[in-house]
Structure 1
């Protein structure tokens, strides 16, 4: 189950802390680990058997665009399709809010994440930041 949660939710904070720890241990530069909760970001939590095990977020940026952020799945729950489900949920929320263009940027060394985004239809675009990879996806409006 995927739920929308407020930025100060304690389960979200625990997931973000775990994400930050994992990034630090993998040598991702500090700038990539900054977490600043805010009202302009919509956070989603993936829950399995009553436990929060995944998170993701989107934030409006520019006209008609949103940035996908804070994707994380606890290691013990990886390989079950939770990240892909989270991406779909984020895309649905962003599209419903009139944001048909999703963007994201991540460290070039996160090969599993890069493969996930590519297999989810995101195309690589030029990044202006060295050591970073930028992706975009234009969402098709749902036909009624």
Structure 2
């Protein structure tokens, strides 16, 4: 019996802002900095060209978040057709209930329906739970991209959203730790 509901919201919705503030504090705690400095505009997550989801518990409290935004080839090493996963987060007391996996699956399905061909994400070595989630969900290390592509703690992963398109595309360059 799953008492958590997933709802699409605007990235600047008060509940989304609250969870984003919490994830930034966790990043700061884990990495000893000010959190993720990646610039995000609420317009990047507007359906059908992006999506931001929140999970709410049975009492209506926001407990988890995640979104995808479109990316195409640019000077930060993205590829045409990419959907970038952003702000995947589950508050401490709601962890261990499969919320991140549910959000991830919903975001992948939405990005696939929007015509995106690959889901990509950047995480860090101080987030082993995230790395385990992505590896167990079919993500493989890929060439680094984004704001933190030159950071030694950064790890980038990708997963084809359309197996037929993946077969036609050359394999991305693997990155060694």
Q: TM-score, normalised by structure 1?
A: 0.90
- Whether the aligned pair in 2 keeps the contact of 1:84 and 1:116 (CA below 8 Å) is yes
- Of structures 1 and 2, the larger Rg is shown by 2
Give ranges in structure 2 of 5+ residues lacking alignment.
Answer: 46-50, 73-79, 164-177
Shift of 1:109: 1.8
Shift of 1:83: 0.4
Map residues 1-144 of structure 1 onto 2, 5 A cutoff: 1-30=5-34, 32-34=36-38, 36-41=40-45, 42-49=51-58, 50-62=60-72, 63-127=80-144, 128-129=149-150, 130-140=152-162
Shift of 1:140: 3.4
Shift of 1:38: 2.2
Shift of 1:2: 1.0
Give ranges in structure 1 of 5+ residues lacking alignment.
Answer: none
Deviations 1:13-51 (A, max 9, x none): 110011111111122544635463320222110111122
Ranges of 4+ aligned residues in structure 1 off by more than 4 Å: none
Query: Larger strand proportion, structure 1 or 2?
Result: 1
Secondary structure of the structure 2 residue equivalent to 1:45: strand
Tell me how far apart the structure 2 counterparts of residues 126 and 39 of structure 1 sit (CA, whole Å).
27
1:121 to 1:94, Cα distance in 2 relative to 1, 3 A: same
Shift of 1:5: 0.4
Tell me how far apart the structure 1 counterparts of residues 39 and 105 of structure 2 sit (CA, whole Å).
22
Number of residue pairs matched by the alignment: 141
Tell me how far apart the structure 2 counterparts of residues 26 and 64 of structure 1 sit (CA, whole Å).
31
Q: TM-score, normalised by structure 2?
A: 0.74
Q: RMSD in angstroms over aligned alpha carbons?
A: 1.7
